Amino acid sequence: MQSFRTEIENPVVEKDIIELANKIELFHKGKIDEEKFRSLRLARGVYGQRQEGVQMIRIKLPYGKVKSNQLRRISDVADEYSTGRLHITTRQDIQIHYVNLDRTPELWAELEKDDVTLREACGNTVRNVTASETAGIDPNEPFDVSPYAHAVFKYFLRNPICQEMGRKFKVSFSASDQDTGLSYMHDLGFIAKIENNIRGFKVLLGGGLGSQPRHADELYSFLSADKIIPVMEGVLRIFDRHGERKSRAKARMKFLIKDIGLDAFKQLVEDEQEAIPFKTVDIDVENYEVSQPAEVVSIPKVTIDDVEAFELWKKTNLVAQKQKGFLAIGIKVLLGDFYTDKARLLADLVEQYAAGELRLSLRQNILIPYVKEELIPYFYQELKKIGFTAAGYNKAVDITACPGTDTCNLGIASSTGIAEELERIIKTEYPQYLDKDDLVIKISGCMNACGQHNMANIGFQGMSIRTKDKLVAPALQVLLGGGNLGDGKGLFADKVVKIPSRRGPEALRRILNDFEANADGEMFVDYYKDKGQMYFYDLLTDLSDIDNLTPQDFIDWGNEEKYVQAIGVGECAGVVIDLVATLFLESEEKIANARLSFDNKIYSDAIYHAYSSLVNSAKALLIAENKKTNTHAGIISQFDELFVDAKKVELNTSFSDLVYQIKKNAPTRDFALDYIKKAEEFLDKVQKFRLADIESV
């Protein structure tokens, strides 16, 4: 094993980083299967890139909050281990690209010096907990959701119940009924509410985007704040047990809800509460660290050269703040990309003149809270020096786009190239949209919707088209009519027409021209609803004709060479190919983790590690028999049928009764000790059975 060591004071974090280093070494030596290794590194924020031999690193920043010291640390890491470019995602993370796999443990250790983690930023885990970027300053919010989002992040980080689920799990917090956290498209969405002077949340369950977007169901119209963690733990336990694990296309929470029904799922969650360690979890709001505005003794004098540009910027980029005398400044970041030189200057500026804090937004932008009103001219001057005064923050000109074919394995067509062109068109041909809030345009490079195209007013999805001569050209699916309606309600866009990518600008022009001429003051979602899908199909259908393609149509936006469709293996879900021996090894590791948790008196964690070992061990024998292992519940019932009922493995009880003790017993010390012992005994039995089976062949 490597002698790699960190200077991290937290032993849990240090163990995590050293484990990654050791697993990388084992992978290089061929002792860990490539697909198995993928699952491990994804859960540690290390994601395969389109370009061979390098990795994308996703840095997990809960609810988009970044302190000045953290931004400097991220910048240092990006310069040392990457190219100096930072990319803001639609989940308030920062990604850096082109990182050597062998250097990722060092990179992670450097980040942790300022309390920045990679853990569970990718893979089949609870992903970054997102929230309204205005949380804490929103004039419409009943209370600040930041402490609650932070508590959820901390509670489920490294929690054994959500380390190896069938798919990723996304959570959001919205500050107010405007639902700027987009609760309706999340696995779990929380909207701040107050009832009878009690803080709580409206809870939405089972939303999602992708190729089959689904509107979340209302799980609770009001849930007191002390119940959100126990309820979420119950949801995760049921998802882990019953969620699909083989077919990626069916493995999200939204499909499980569809299969078993909301009422049945809710009952399972409520039944699970007996096994959950805490029936209520009070969020320590009083001790949550709220950033404090810097004491600015004197206001720097500023002379504004271009008053017209300054006034437009103020109109479009200033955000109201509930704290008297302060405003927030929105920075429009083109495609979410900026460089470390700007990042450091920005960190210094907000530390000296604001509150030493930034918020990354769901639209890939930056928000600076706590700017004194009299400092606005000075901030404009300083931001202009680093190119951060583009007008149109969160306006129509502010287009969201995923990286697409730039770096993503799944990218089919360029999303960044077409986004730049569409922004140029709006700025030059439709300048009135610089300060209009009523158009949301989003672009994704494939159907997985990382650019959130299917919840936009106007969306584009990267595709390809094949001509009669079997030539392949980049294409865009045009989607219209999506939008956020507030309070957990939203609309998903309709697919209208598929066109060659080079005709995307003309499609946008036609849509905007028609909107200008016929909307009569309506919001776009209402205008689209009134006109209907076929109206826009007729408006755009001639653009789908591929009998008249030109050579330019075979070159994607942002490229000079002819388009070649090259789709790699996606890692969004951390697909794993399981081997029997590896599964047994994992079961042993899970029992070791159970023992460690038991020694630390964290009995609920110990029990769940033991549960994971039991299921994993049973899965090993089923894999050896070429049986399906799609869900935990399926593994448990199949093991009974094939091994216990057939008298191949003697347990003196059914495997179901053994395993499901987890949901019938409170997480006490005595139960944890007994359950771990049974997991050890079971592993020993199935390993002996496997050995005898091999020797008999």
Question: Range(s) for CATH 1.20.120.330 in the chain?
Answer: 580-695
* Per-residue pLDDT, 5: 58
Q: What is the pLDDT of residues 131-167, one digit of tens each?
A: 999 999 999 999 999 999 999 999 999 999 998 888 9
Contacts of 295-300 with C-beta under 8 Å, sequence gap 24+, read 296/353, 296/372, 296/375, 299/372, 299/374, 299/375, 299/378, 300/375, 300/378
Helix (H, G, I), strand (E, B) or coil at 339: strand
Contact between 464 and 565 (Cβ < 8 Å): yes
pLDDT at 623 over 70: yes
Three-class DSSP labels, 435-483: HCCCCCEEEECCCCCCCCHHHCCEEEEEEEEECCCCCEEEEEEEEECCE
Q: Using 50, 70 and 90 to split pLDDT, how confident is the model at 66? A: very high
Cα 67-68-74 angle, rounded to 5 deg: 90
DSSP state of 299: P
pLDDT at 172 over 60: yes
pLDDT at 469 over 60: yes
Highest mean pLDDT among 12-26, 238-252, 262-276, 412-426: 262-276
Question: Range(s) for CATH 3.30.70.3340 in the chain?
Answer: 307-385
Question: Range(s) for CATH 3.30.413.10 in the chain?
Answer: 130-275, 400-554
Cα 621-623-627 angle, rounded to 5 deg: 105
* Residue 585 neighbours by CB distance under 10 Å: 15
* Per-residue pLDDT, 697: 52
As beta bridge partners, residue 461 has 444, 477
Closest CA to 296 of 347, 350, 344: 350
Higher pLDDT, 564 or 89: 89
3-state helix, strand, coil in the chain (%, to 5): 45, 15, 40
* Per-residue pLDDT, 565: 63
pLDDT at 569 over 50: no
* Per-residue pLDDT, 130: 98
CA dihedral 468, 469, 474, 476 (to 10 degrees): 0
Instruction: Report the distance separating Cα 597 and Cα 132, nearest Å.
Output: 35
Tokens of 28: 């290089």
Q: Using 50, 70 and 90 to split pLDDT, how confident is the model at 406? A: low
pLDDT at 384 over 90: yes
Q: Is the domain covering 307-385 a CATH 3.40.710.10 domain?
A: no
DSSP state of 560: S
Dmax (CA) of the chain: 88
Contact between 227 and 280 (Cβ < 8 Å): yes
DSSP state of 225: G
Q: Residue 175, by phi and psi: left (phi above 0), alpha (psi -120 to 50) or beta? A: alpha
pLDDT at 403 over 90: no
* Per-residue pLDDT, 576: 32
Fold of the domain built from segment(s) 580-695: Four Helix Bundle (Hemerythrin (Met), subunit A) (1.20.120)
* Per-residue pLDDT, 360: 97
* Per-residue pLDDT, 435: 81
* Neighbour-count burial of 156, counting CB atoms closer than 10 A to its CB (0-12 exposed, 13-18 middle, 19+ buried): buried
Question: What percent of the chain is modeled with pLDDT above 90?
Answer: 70
Interval 497-525 mean pLDDT = 94
pTM for this model (two decimals): 0.89
Helix (H, G, I), strand (E, B) or coil at 187: coil
Q: What is the pLDDT of residues 592-618, one digit of tens each?
A: 999 999 999 999 999 999 999 999 999
**CA of 13: how far to CAs of 119, 326, 437, 508, in Å?**
9, 38, 43, 48
Domain 130-275 classification at class level: alpha beta
Contact between 619 and 611 (Cβ < 8 Å): no
* Per-residue pLDDT, 577: 34
Closest CA to 425 of 458, 455, 456: 458
Contact between 494 and 479 (Cβ < 8 Å): yes
* Per-residue pLDDT, 42: 80
Tokens of 248: 């990626």
Interval 673-694 mean pLDDT = 93
Task: Write the single-letter amino acid at 300.
Answer: P
Q: Using 50, 70 and 90 to split pLDDT, how confident is the model at 465? A: confident
Sheet bearing 400-401, strands edge to edge: 400-401, 441-444, 458-466, 472-480, 494-500
CATH of domain 11-112: 3.90.480.20
Contact between 174 and 182 (Cβ < 8 Å): yes
Question: Range(s) for CATH 3.90.480.20 in the chain?
Answer: 11-112
Q: Using 50, 70 and 90 to split pLDDT, how confident is the model at 400? A: confident
* Per-residue pLDDT, 573: 38
Three-class DSSP labels, 82-96: CCCEEEECCCCCEEE
Instruction: Report the distance separating Cα 163 and Cα 586, nearest Å.
Output: 13
| Mean per-residue pLDDT of the chain | 90
pLDDT at 477 over 80: yes
pLDDT at 693 over 90: no
Superfamily holding 400-554: Sulfite Reductase Hemoprotein, domain 1 (3.30.413.10)
Helix (H, G, I), strand (E, B) or coil at 165: coil
Sheet bearing 94-99, strands edge to edge: 46-48, 55-59, 94-99, 85-88, 337-339
* Per-residue pLDDT, 625: 87
Q: Using 50, 70 and 90 to split pLDDT, how confident is the model at 409? A: low
Higher pLDDT, 19 or 378: 378
